[in-house]
Amino acid sequence: MARPSGIDLVTGSGTRIATVCRPVALALSAIIALPAMLAAQEAPDTLPTDPPAEPAQSGNALEDAARAYVASPGQQALIDSLLSPEAILAQINAASPDLPPKLTGLVSRIASDELESLRPKLEAAMVDSAVKTFTLDEIHALDVFYNTPEGRSILLKMQPFLEDALAQVAPEIRAAQDVILQRTVEALQLGR
């Protein structure tokens, strides 16, 4: 019986780790590229206007401001939309439109479940990055700005803006993914 065609993942010593069919390899590459996909997710159509729950206070003004910013309704709505199965499915379909719907649906549900479990770590990382990147005045300015009509409008438009720009280079990104996968398999086979 002939082995199904696929991509053999082989160690430098020649030991086959696994054979992965092309659709699974494409789905996995979409998941590996998920951080970039998440950055290009569509923002929610509307932002909540309720005040955020009070974040825990640390006694450090900069960290407290960063926590409040990450807990703000706009940031929470954005995170919600990034982690939804529908958003992940849309990104997988955009990255690999030829994958079977059953496979993309399965992968998007699994990815959403796994990524949702990382939400506390994502929020903590956002706080940490905000503390490292912004001053206290800048965090306050971000919070104030994104609570203005213009700020809310920009927040809603930023994702379509990025999606449009990325869509213009999507064929090149897909071609690069194929080359990266091919070169990686070749390097594993050669033991590099």
In this prediction, residue 57 carries a pLDDT of 54
pLDDT of residue 46: 54
Instruction: Look up residue 59 and give its DSSP letter.
Output: S
pLDDT band at 4 (very low <50, low <70, confident <90, very high): very low
| pLDDT the model gives residue 14 | 56
**Which helix (H) or strand (E) covers residue 7, if one does?**
strand 7-10
Q: Could you tell me which of 45, 68, 48 has the C-alpha nearest to residue 142?
A: 68
- Reported as a single tens digit per residue, the pLDDT across 146-188 is 888 898 888 778 777 877 777 788 788 778 888 888 888 888 8
Q: Which of 111, 90, 85, 87 is closest to 31 using CA atoms? A: 111
Q: Which pLDDT does position 127 carry in this prediction?
A: 95
Sorted by where each begins, the domain ranges of the chain are 38-177
Give tens-digit pLDDT for 118-133. 889 989 999 999 999 9
Instruction: Name which residue leads in pLDDT, 100 or 2.
Output: 100
Confidence (pLDDT) at 66: 95
d(CA 66, CA 140): 9
Q: How do residues 56-111 score in pLDDT, each as one tens digit?
A: 555 699 999 999 999 988 788 778 877 778 877 877 777 777 888 888 888 888 88
pLDDT value for 124: 94
Residue 135 is which amino acid?
T
Q: What is the pTM of this model?
A: 0.56
In this structure, what token pair is assigned to residue 11? 């160690």
137 has a pLDDT exceeding 90: yes
Contact 6, 20 (CB under 8 A): yes
Whole-number Cα distances in Å, 181 to 24, 26, 28, 110, 178: 12, 9, 11, 22, 5
| pLDDT, position 59 | 62
Residue 1 is predicted with a pLDDT of 45
